[in-house]
Structure 1
Amino acid sequence: MKIKSFINFQKLSFVAVLSISTLVTACGSDNNSDKLAKAVKLESERAKGTIIESVTIHGDSTRLKAGETHQLRASGVDSNNETRDITNELTWESSDTSIATVNNAGLVTAVANSDINQGIVTITGTTINDISGEGEISVSDVAVKTISLKQVTPSSGNINTCIDAYIRADVGYVDGYTSLNTTKDMSFSVDSDSSAVVTSDGALYTSAPQVESSTITARIGDIEGQLTVTADPVNLETLDVLFDDKVTRIITLNIGERINVNAQSNLDPTVSTKQYQIDNSISWAQSDHRLIGITNSGENKGTILGLAQGVTTLIGSCGGKEAKATIEVKGQSTINSIKINDGSDIITIAPSESIELILTANYSSAPDSINVSEFAHWNLNGSDLFDAELTALGTDKASFKLTSSANNKGSAIISVIYDNIISSVRINIE
């Protein structure tokens, strides 16, 4: 019985090897080998139900100028009726590579401006099983004629205070082409009495505790468009502090340690049971500024730095609601002194030159020193020789950056206070 089974196994193995050998031999060329590999992959996807049955191109109907690039994306619905990003699974092609090219990741490069057929080029993305999707890109440098702003998330009605909404524009050109759902080349502004902020990619967020209407203006050159959006906090129930992506009430860190916190909002459950990340709209504060420093703007917003031993309360607020967490800073080190840059009394720069002033707090024990530039109080003492800004917020590279005016020469005393200690430096422009 065992011998017979062994013989049958040998026969089956021989047949399988013979079949594969025959197929490979029949294929012969590299081209046929590629076809075989493709066929094997297709059968594997079919077996898993992941073979794509429809393709949609996203980010098309956009106008570019020669030399610009634009990223297209693609989504596909598979045989499991699930949608996924297939941008990197497609073979991408351009209908006219003299006007625009596209690489294997869907990145379009505008090659030459064209006034033929409004500079339109068809971009095609094709799956391994030859299912295609198409989109158009226009390449021309004709002038903008109109900007029509619109809400896209949500598409209509009031937005929820604290939760990011999105606006886009349909941009018309003098040759009749319309670029759809874009923020390309736009600058945004909001009426001055509004809490609303609009980012360069059209994200809109508000934080007022009452119903608030905001007028957003988009500009491209001399052409502008406007949209009025109303934000309502009525659905806002509670806010949470997140640490390591978990709702938290107590956070512990050491002197000199940096951590990042986030915030989320919860709406009336009859409206939505989803939690919304609100890092853009949240405002951070603390009950004792001596113990921690909080970055409240920029890409590192929500970064906390331990400054001194003790316990304080972290407060996040938006839309009239608050989230709180207790923060304990551990360590025995105390501040002995502060120093600007290397401690020199005088720094000399040239007109139009910049200098980054870094304030270091020196401690009695580890950590030996901490960059506290972001959390100190700087003073130009009435000087108009410089433009000043805090840079690299939320990092150990933070600085108070001074840029001198082009035609001015002179000197100024720059002073700073931290932990009730004062330091100063003279900046000469020569």
Structure 2
Amino acid sequence: MGFYSDETSRELTQEVSWRSRDTSIATISEAGLVVGVGVGNSTITAVKDGGVSNRANLIVSEAVLESIIISPINASIIKGSILQHAATGIYSDGASQDLTQEVSWRSSDTSIATISEAGVAVGVGVGSSIINAVKDGIISNDGRLTVIGISEPVNYFVNVKPKNTVIFVGSAQQFEAELIFDDGSKETLSNDRVIWNSSAFNIVTITNSGRANGLVNGGTRIKATLIDNVNAWGETTLSVINVQSLFAYTMNISGGNILNIGDKSGLTVNGLYSLLNNGFVDLTYSSIWTSSDPSVIRMEGPIMYAVGSGTATITASYEGRVSSGEFIVR
């Protein structure tokens, strides 16, 4: 601020010449913006028309640790095995630093898992424990470590469905896993009970919920492993082809087109890419689903929810292809 003989004042931030006494500690721009470049003290002043400002003492200190992020945040190991954890520190200047060897590691239940000063966890009992790290009073995010027991002989096997499917590049396929017992009974497995894997992640990736995404042409094996018994697993194949092969696109309606309020019903849609060998591909989870009247039928992906009486047209679309059907809610 400039103060004048007529007792007026005016901002001069952009008009003065800014000076830092020690530019190895701090530099200052023509606009008055200071950058701390070294640890220590410097004096900041401003000059205009021979007038020198008061002095401002500037202290530049080391960056301060603001948060700690550990990984992995959700992992499973077999009892007796080990897992390396890592800790990264985020500082006030935006920089990050590996703190794996500097933090204090903690396990919430040492009867389940212990963890060394170097971040190596050991599974000592069956169950789950929370892992975190502490440094300078800063506590990291939590990581859940699940320890599973040595597998026992089984009277069931894991089945992955659908079997031996095809998708287009850029589209997706939802997989499910089930246990089939010796007596023929079945049990659908929730996503927290299986580990999904693709044998070729450069061709197909798969999420923790069993949703596979096709990246490029090729094939892969999709495998589901039971978390509490790694000897129990099942797999199927998935092929990825070019969308240019698609020449038919059809919505499939099962159970009729009349719904009652409160009903929930699923739709599927198939693409035909070859007249030979039943060349159909499931595009249900790759398509965009819309309802002409959400107050009658609300869509969540391919699932219809009948919420009000009336008529609505449900449309599925994929890469410029469209298929639709009319539904009545009463």
- Please, what TM-score do these two structures have when normalized by structure 1? 0.34
Q: Between Structure 1 and Structure 2, which shows a larger proportion of helix residues?
A: 1
Q: Between Structure 1 and Structure 2, which shows a larger proportion of strand residues?
A: 2
- Please, what TM-score do these two structures have when normalized by structure 2? 0.42
